[in-house]
Structure 1
């Protein structure tokens, strides 16, 4: 419960921190960024009076819940304000892909025994080498400082859900035993597009699962169309086991 409370209370500050001008490798500056989003070097800051600009009000296109959803929502708002949604999405997915390819890197992100200072310094260096945007860099540094790097893959998926909704895309996952031929994939995509109608765009994702034996399973929005041989075989088995009523 304490952790959940900490996540909820940190979301507004996190959103502001992601919009800060810069994030230092020093943990002190990370904490300052969370409290004061416009923190920079006092020697270089210009305190001349200026009329405040009214920021556009950004709303997440889909309500997200839970810790990962809150982090993804905060990142979405910051990236939308900076007009870098696609760049931030690509950078997050690149990081997740890198962690999947490197067991050492994956273990580092999951290991809470690593001191926060070490996590912050390492993640800052990684972002600098990868030339990530400031929004992404700030976000990952905050995750590192809060011990939430182990959830970055889930956060990235939730963030992608938000960016897809922003673009008017609807994900459809088709599961088959072997990859669909190009013609059949196009036919399925066109059919789903007709169901959606105008204003939305189908984004088809293929998954391979030999356990379904044949046929296909389509997950589309909140619906699942199961036309697999495995499911049909189970239905047939239940039918054969049911007692036959000869009087009917």
Structure 2
């Protein structure tokens, strides 16, 4: 399995912590990027919680860089077939070292080295997304995605958050943290779409328009 081949490389930096070999990811992620993310998570937590948070900080720095104005250049760099795995890993390390997270943890270094050697750097964003998903589960967060047609004002977000915390959505997390993720999708025209725990509550204008159209078509 990929995870069993990746983990030893990560765990080279965690010698002395072998007694914690029973550490597991809090949830199973699908796909190859999920296996890389899970292996990095297990390797970091096998060392200690501080290392886990450091790796999270490193990966968030890379994610922010990819989303920045220079993101396209970085994407071209990591997907450039003329560069060696060592050159790509070194470039990413330099990026991390100049960021707010400081010098990257050895496990972060090993993660990108393995991705580069296996020709999987193009999966960087998916691997980071998977790692952050594991961190959310580690903290016991209940993720709720609120999609609106336009950015919501802070006062409205605060009211939505208060309402959600008092709902059964929050209770499904056994009283733990409710994490609200805001998204903007103009196509819903207005209202809100709330996604949580594999369920969707569609309160959008576009949904109501579609329902009306369906009723009109049935009446013709």
Q: TM-score range by the shorter chain?
A: 0.7 to 0.9
TM-score, normalised by the number of residues in structure 2: 0.84
Match of 2:5 in 1: 13
Give CA-to-partner distance per residue, 1:176-219, whole Å, 9 cap, x none.
12315244233333235544253432100111122211110001
Q: Quick check: 1:69 aligned with 2:45?
A: no
Listed as ranges, the gaps of 5+ residues in structure 1 are 1-7, 22-36, 39-50
Match of 1:188 in 2: 163
- Structural RMSD (CA): 2.4
Listed as ranges, the gaps of 5+ residues in structure 2 are none
Task: Give the alignment partner of residue 214 of structure 1, picking from 176, 190, 193.
Answer: 190
**Alignment partners' CA distance in 2, 1:241 and 1:124:** 59
Contact kept, 8 Å, 1:100 with 1:106, in 2: the verdict is no
Task: Give the alignment partner of residue 60 of structure 2, picking from 65, 80, 93.
Answer: 93
SS in 1 for 2:20: coil
C-alpha deviation, 1:128, in angstroms: 4.4
Aligned ranges 1:75-154 → 2 under 5 Å: 75-83=40-48, 84-101=51-68, 102=70, 103-129=72-98, 130-154=102-126
Give CA-to-partner distance per residue, 1:25-71, whole Å, 9 cap, x none.
xxxxxxxxxxxx97xxxxxxxxxxxx996234111111122110110
Q: Quick check: 1:231 aligned with 2:207?
A: yes
TM-score, normalised by the number of residues in structure 1: 0.76
| C-alpha spacing 1:210/1:160, structure 2 compared with 1 (3 Å) | same
Give CA-to-partner distance per residue, 1:217-238, whole Å, 9 cap, x none.
0010100111100011000110
Aligned ranges 1:234-245 → 2 under 5 Å: 234-243=210-219
How many residue pairs match? The answer is: 209
C-alpha deviation, 1:116, in angstroms: 2.4
| C-alpha spacing 1:238/1:94, structure 2 compared with 1 (3 Å) | same
Bigger mean CA deviation after superposition, 11-20 or 203-212? 11-20
